[in-house]
Amino acid sequence: MYHRPNKRDSSSWLQFVDLILVSCPGLCWSYGKSLASNPLLPARSSHSKTVKRGIVKSVLSSAISKSCSHLRFQSMKSPVDRLTSSGYSLICSVIYGLVVPFSDGARPGEFRHAAVVLYFRGVSHNLGSAAAEFGVWVVFSNCF
């Protein structure tokens, strides 16, 4: 199990920009931007709720996408601490929207294959609709 590295035990981890490289049975990485690095926009600012939600989404999606699958959920502690220290309260609703797409397995409606087809007027879109029923995404090309 991964534990956040402390300054005394530096033999198993290495800080590289905003990532922490951890030597466990293999090599894993975790998002590890510190609280003091760049302060976030305070939640009490006069910016719109859309801007504030975008900040929360950006910080949390960085933590999820910049961590390996083994350490993805453990790396969420530091960004959540940064957000709560800045006064943000809509963290849970944003986390749910971010974690669901990163869960393992295919989502319904997800295309697994793609095909490039020459565009013919009146035929190509019908072909694309039929292929979509089988999970194939059709991309049209045109000869110039």
Q: How far is Cα 125 from Cα 66, in angstroms, rounded to an integer?
A: 38
Two tokens, residue 15: 């800080």
Q: How far is Cα 41 from Cα 113, in angstroms, rounded to an integer?
A: 41
pTM of the complete model: 0.57
Q: How far is Cα 141 from Cα 144, in angstroms, rounded to an integer?
A: 10
Residue of 7 and 126 predicted with greater confidence: 126
In tens, the pLDDT along 3-58 reads 455 544 556 788 888 888 888 777 888 887 765 667 888 889 999 888 888 888 88
CB 77 within 8 A of CB 33: no
Can you give the pLDDT at residue 71?
Answer: 81
In tens, the pLDDT along 70-105 reads 887 788 888 888 888 888 877 777 877 776 655 555
